Amino acid sequence: MNSAKPMKMNILTIAIALLFAGCGGDDTPTPSGGNTPETPQSEVTTVRADLSLELTTDRALYRPGQAVTFTVEGEVPSGARVRYRNGFDIVGEQALSGSTWTWTPPTTDFAGYLADIYVPTADNAETVYATIGVDVSSDWGRYPRYGFVGTYDRSKTSDVIASEVAFLNRCHINGIQFYDWQMKHHWPLGGTPGNLLATYTDIANRTIVTDVVRDYISQLHQRGMKCMFYNLCYGAYKDGPEDGVSDDWGLYSQADGRTRDILSMPAGWKSDIYLMDPSNTSWQHYLAQRNDDVYAALDFDGFHIDQLGDRGERYNRSGQRVKLTEGFTSFINAMKAAHPDKSLVMNAVANFGSQNIVSTGNVDFMYSELWDGEAQYADLLSILKANRGYSGQRLNQVYAAYMNYNRKGSQFNTPGVLMADAVMFGIGASHLELGDHMLCHEYFPNTDLRMSETLRQAIVRYYDFLVAYEQLLRGTDITEAAADVTSSKSGLTINAWPPKLKGVTSYSTAIANRQVVHLFNFLQAKSLSWRDMDSEQPEPRLQTNIPLKLKATGVKRLWAATPDALAGAPQQLAFTQEGQYIAFTLPSLKYWTMIVVEK
């Protein structure tokens, strides 16, 4: 592509995009025109990558109308331009001048964009040098990208916190769970609002520095991230009665009113956890008052509520059976009534109580901690669909899913992590995995495994992709739509969901005038468990120039994108109409490639 031709094409595309900007106001990407029913290769720009630049933004998400500040590092090539896409449509473009600049996205709420720096080259081609996602959303819960913090001692200097927050910001994490920050489960604040303790210990007798907690909150808020304090819905320490907790509010494992339900903690920890009846209104009132203290002293945005899964038959002090799932409903509603302006998220451990949790309408999104009973890739979609049904199709899904659980070594298995993220993101969920380290265990301070530099770089690309195409991945008006897709490539079999070994699995959805087909590469996979417990998942072999046929008519434009190539930048694809099918060549498939058919 020479320097004159792309300018003419880009100006036309921008004009079309601006004509439609602001229309709708829901999750539907801006509609656009397209090409004739057949797109020859001569009309398609060839996209190459030279990812020698680094792009960052000043926030993890932006309110409609809020300007985005970009910073680029590296030697910017002559003639570089920066453009902003919603899906494939270009909604803005400018010559790149300087290392820092601002851009104000369209005012459409709940929209994702991909900014990329590129240089037009000869022969109808262009080279992409950097990309980054931008999320414009007034509510973080629409497209949750949840992270965590697990350590608050003096090693967490302000500079250390700034470095951690910068990486979370680069991955567009928009909410943080403060795990085990509390002094006691029944008395979470270290001290009282009028007499805060400078330091205290958590349940594991680790030192917690109050100013470190404050610094995290302050720096995360500067990036636009929400801060959620963690606590059980029904936890008290042995000394609870000294702090006003009554045994009458307790949960009992027998109907005798004497045998308390207790979660035993390791030797040397501060206390075992004595469980309370979450439906007991006196307990709810007590904990809401303790939360009053938390909100008065620390600028938290909400309460991340935890539980312990199915405890079997449990009773109250009077010997009456307690239905824990109904207790969750009662507890959530009480916490919302006590602090209606604060966010709530509740964990469904092994999906226990998910229907009761989600159906309250008082949680910001669906959060499920997955274990052996939900260990297959197919389970990820089944749980998501069920929970969406409970929420009336309103809420999106976050999975707390711990990778490489049996790993003996120092690093995560990169293929296992990327394959799990590919499937989670492709079906429309997200993964709680990033924090002050990468998460490998249900005890969040555990740091046995670390990201390699290769995984760290790939994770950034995956989260850019999750943000840039969030409307196509996680929009509230997405529906499943079966795809008839085949390939004539020897040794490459495409099967419809659920995943199968030794093949490529397709999962297809529809949104407005688009069909979205996701291809997941299980050709070399050793297991269909996302957990990759023993780190055995091998790196899939890159498939290139894959001939495909897809049943589709009335196609105006065909394009594809993947976090595994071109840093997620989209590529328009040439196609021919062959009866009820279109025939085209997919450039590449490593872990996951998304194909978008615009009609």
- 3 state SS of 38: coil
**Single pTM value for the model:** 0.93
The 10s digit of each residue's pLDDT in 273-282 is 999 999 999 9
Output the CA–CA distances (angstroms, integers) from residue 381 to 122, 345, 495, 517, in the order listed: 44, 20, 16, 15
Question: Does residue 491 carry a pLDDT above 60?
Answer: yes
Among the listed residues 286, 156, 273, 148, the one whose alpha carbon sits nearest the alpha carbon of residue 210:
156
What's the first-to-final CA gap in the chain, in angstroms?
26
| pLDDT mean across residues, the chain | 93
The 10s digit of each residue's pLDDT in 418-466 is 999 999 999 999 999 999 999 999 999 999 999 999 999 999 999 999 9
Contact in structure between 544 and 590 (CB atoms under 8 Å): no
The 10s digit of each residue's pLDDT in 555-592 is 999 999 999 999 999 999 999 999 999 999 999 999 99
Looking up tokens 């555990």 gives 446
Quote the percentage of the chain above a pLDDT of 70: 94
Strands across the sheet containing 81-86: 46-49, 125-136, 111-121, 81-86, 89-95
Quote the percentage of the chain above a pLDDT of 90: 91
Q: How would residue 37 be classed by pLDDT, with cut points 50, 70 and 90?
A: low
What domains can you pick out in the chain, each with its CATH number?
5-136 (2.60.40.10), 178-339 (3.20.20.80), 479-598 (2.60.40.1180)
Radius of gyration from C-alpha coordinates of the chain? 25
pLDDT at 352: 98
Question: Does residue 514 carry a pLDDT above 60?
Answer: yes
Question: Does residue 20 carry a pLDDT above 50?
Answer: no
Alpha carbon distance 417, 329 (integer Å) = 33
Query: Per-residue pLDDT averaged across 223-245, rounded?
Result: 98
The 10s digit of each residue's pLDDT in 366-419 is 999 999 999 999 999 999 999 999 999 999 999 999 999 998 889 999 999 999
Binning the chain into helix, strand and coil, the percentages to the nearest 5 are: 25, 30, 45
